[in-house]
Amino acid sequence: MRLLPQLIENNRKWVQSVNESDPDFFDKLSKGQSPEFLWIGCADSRVPANQILGLLPGDVFVHRNIANVVVHSDFNCQSVIEFAVNVLKVKHIIVCGHYSCGGVKAASQNHHLGLIDNWLRHIRDVRQKHDSVLRAIENEGEMIDRLCELNVVEQAYNVCHSTVVQEAWESRQDLAVHGWIYGIGDGLLKDLNVTITGPTEIAEAYRVAINQNLA
């Protein structure tokens, strides 16, 4: 249906329930945002940032794309990082992937899918970089999940090397970058041992995260 009346009705019910629990909620929300977290995640409909973290609207600044990729040439993502760090002054940037990611699975294969091949090229570069590790995993599902983890580590690494984050650290701004992964099958987040609070920590955090075994 063009007007999707059920969704409009759902919205009305949601507003009513929020107003009943906190009559000032929308008034406070309209006065501005001051989230402490930037979430860079996958566009998968099963991975909604606020719900996973148990937080409310206004608590998380969010950027999502296919397979949570962060590259210097993506001005959309880089602009989000800039606004989050320089304007909102977030204290944490969380790069969160998820197991059984369709984008990562597609990148692990050599099929031609169309326009998205250009985007998946970034993940295929990750696959090629860690080819020896991935080839040693015989089970395909486990191999894809390991690639999902490696992709998060690589994208967190890219965040750390972005101009905005480097400049924030140079000015001694309080900012940490984290790499997490989400299990759709159990709803649980897993810390991939990527927590970086300054440029001197990047190399060691990367080494630890890359060398950890698939749990």
So which residues are the catalytic ones? 42, 44, 46, 98, 101
What number of other Cβ atoms are within 10 A of residue 51's Cβ? 9
Tokens of 20: 């009943």
Q: Positive or negative, the Cα torsion across 161, 165, 169, 170?
A: positive
Report the length, in residues, of the chain.
215
For residue 38, what is the enclosing H or E element?
Answer: strand 37-42
In the sheet where 60-65 sits, what is the strand order?
60-65, 37-42, 92-98, 176-182, 189-196
| Farthest-apart Cα atoms in the chain, separation | 57
Locate tokens 């990562």: which residue?
104
CB 62 within 8 A of CB 39: yes
CB 78 within 8 A of CB 100: no
